[in-house]
Structure 1
Amino acid sequence: MSRLPTLFVSHGSPMLALQDSPARRFLDGLGASLPRPRAVLAVSAHWETLGAPAVSLAPRPATIHDFGGFPRALFEIQYPAPGAPEVAERAASLLEQAGMAVQRAPDRGLDHGAWVPLRLMYPQADVPVAQMSILHGGDPAAHLALGQALAALREEGVLVLASGSLTHNLYEYRGQGVDAPAPGWVAGFGDWIKARLDAGDRAALLDYRRAAPYAAQNHPTDEHLLPLFVALGAAGPQAHATRLHASVEHGVLAMDAYAFD
């Protein structure tokens, strides 16, 4: 079985599920470009837990429509992928071996941070999926450690798919079209992240809120960037980052995607 990369993808607006864009077209072809995994462990910015990460043991995870104010067609979408409770238990075991506490959620479904990219990557919904939460209030170092504990999954045919957004300041969204250009503060932050990933400068990345230009403007809160650190950690200490895609939607949502291998 081929060793899989770990992935960070930007899921942007839930409208990515319906609306054409460069990022949607990229995700449409991403699954076919990778070795087929036996299962996916999705780590989404939209599931946060206090104190310890949680894994979902749902055998048939429901499609969670965790948003409002969008067209009815978006709420009618279902992503009926089978669950992967054994992968969730394996992830929990690895975290516990690393000295971390773990919560187990018996029936938690897939939020849009998971099912929107997965529906584009694996439209047949035939790859089993488990989901893991991020830590509410956890810093980048805590999420890098979560990823490091999960590194063995790469050798076991499990794709670690971390889903967030490279930039995510919805306070700056004022109805811009999907193809609106990025202002300098969005582009500058994305360029900095790429340069630090290319250089393997984990110390700077972990301190991004102080070191990166426009960090707080792009991320008033951390949760949409934290999955990137899980993917980085899960790829191992010598992982090389490759930017697979870069585009911007609505001017303020950088849709960059990275593979770590």
Structure 2
Amino acid sequence: MPAATLPALFISHGAPTLALEQSATTNALARLGQNLPKPRAIVIMSAHWLSSKLELSSHPAPVTWHDFSGFAAELYRIRYPVAGHPALAESLAQQLSTRGIACSVNPLRALDHGVWSPLLHLYPDADVPVIQLSLPQHYDSHACYQLGALFAALRQEQVLLIGSGNITHNLAAMRWNAASIDDTARAFKVWLLAQLKTHIPTALDWQQFAAAEDVHPSAEHLLPLFFVLGAGQRVSVVHESMAHHSLGMDIYRFD
């Protein structure tokens, strides 16, 4: 029988402490890993790798990079000993180059917490090879969407496409462990999901939301959403929650 087509996923990875948590968000990630067909590889775009041009990680055994400071010592002891997939990274870079997209492989890139903190819960055995995709600094939502469309066929080849960021992300508005929820962040989530379900062009122009800068002062945590939207346009909500007052922790599936 032919292998099932995998979805594309948008994961709100939150703070690095996600790696240590047992929460509704991490439970949702664990269920996804248990219920999806096992991928042969993962291609993941994280908000934490900004670059001048498109790059794909090609280290055969990428390092777990603790790209943060000020957290508990146990967080820095975590390792996610996953393999890379240099051959697939090289192949993808060649295919993109033939389409006129400036890109290259990066054999030195380590995995940042936008990659390993959610994957610890999604695939805790670290048994699915990972390629990290950079987010070029000049890309907007439309460019990310177009790139995702180029990667869409990989879903039929047992490659899981992931965008890792946050559905809302304003560090200045965060209140650690607050029980209250920021009304603007919640309104943005409702508005954006409605656009994703009914009118994708409006979703791509997300900055027309009246208070867009209040939920995303910079765009890098939202742009990975549009990468996976380009790869699979039918959206469903896997998980919805807020953390630390203003941090949206939603997980979306695109088929």
- TM-score where L is the length of structure 2: 0.96
| Structure 2 match to 1:209 | 207
Partner SS, residue 150 of structure 1: helix
Residue by residue, what CA displacement relative to the aligned partner does 1:12-64 show, whole Å, maximum 9, x if unpaired?
A: 011111123211221122111211100101110000101x2100110001001
- Number of the residue aligned with 1:188: 187
- Report if the CA contact (8 A) 2:176-2:245 is conserved: no
Instruction: Tell me how far 1:254 sits from its aligned partner.
Output: 0.6
2:46 alignment partner, SS class: strand
> Deviation at 1:95?
2.0
2:20 alignment counterpart: 18
CA RMSD of aligned residues (A): 1.2
Helix, strand or coil: the match of 2:83? coil
Give per-residue Cα distances to partners, 1:119-167, cap 9 Å, x unaligned.
1010011111111101113211111111111112111111001100000
Report the secondary structure of 1:120's partner residue. helix
Q: Residues of 2 paired with 1:181 and 1:31: CA distance?
A: 30
Letter in 2 for 1:8: F
User: Given that residues 189 and 213 in structure 1 are in contact (C-alpha distance below 8 angstroms), is that contact kept between their aligned partners in structure 2?
Assistant: no
One-letter amino acid of the counterpart of residue 187, structure 2: G
Within 5 A, what are the aligned runs for 1:6-85?
Answer: 6-50=8-52, 52-85=53-86
TM-score normalised over the length of structure 1: 0.93
Shift of 1:193: 1.1
Q: Give the residue type in structure 1 aligned to 2:194.
A: A
Amino acid aligned to 1:220: P
Is 1:90 the counterpart of 2:84? The answer is: no
Size of the alignment, in residue pairs? 253
Q: Gapped runs of 5+ residues in structure 2? A: none
Question: CA 1:195/1:75 → structure 2, altered by over 3 Å: closer, same or farther?
Answer: same
Aligned-residue offset at 1:251 = 1.1
How many Å separate the matches in 2 of 1:72 and 1:144? Answer: 38
Contact 2:114 / 2:164 at 8 angstroms: preserved in 1? yes
Structure 1 segment 237-252 matched on structure 2, within 5 A: 239-252=233-246
Between the aligned residues of both structures, percent identity stands at 43
SS state of the match for residue 44, structure 1?
Answer: strand
1:141 aligned residue:
142
Which ranges in structure 1 are unaligned for 5 or more consecutive residues?
none
2:170 and 2:216 in contact (8 A); partners too = yes
Cα drift, residue 203 of structure 1: 1.2
Structure 2 CA distance, aligned partners of 1:86 and 1:153? Answer: 15
Match of 1:224 among 203, 221, 225: 221
Structure 1 outlier segments of 4+, above 4 Å: none
CA distance in 2, matches of 1:160, 1:221: 23
State the one-letter code of the partner of 2:80: Y
Q: Deviations over 1:100-125 (max 9, x none)?
A: 11022112111100001111010011
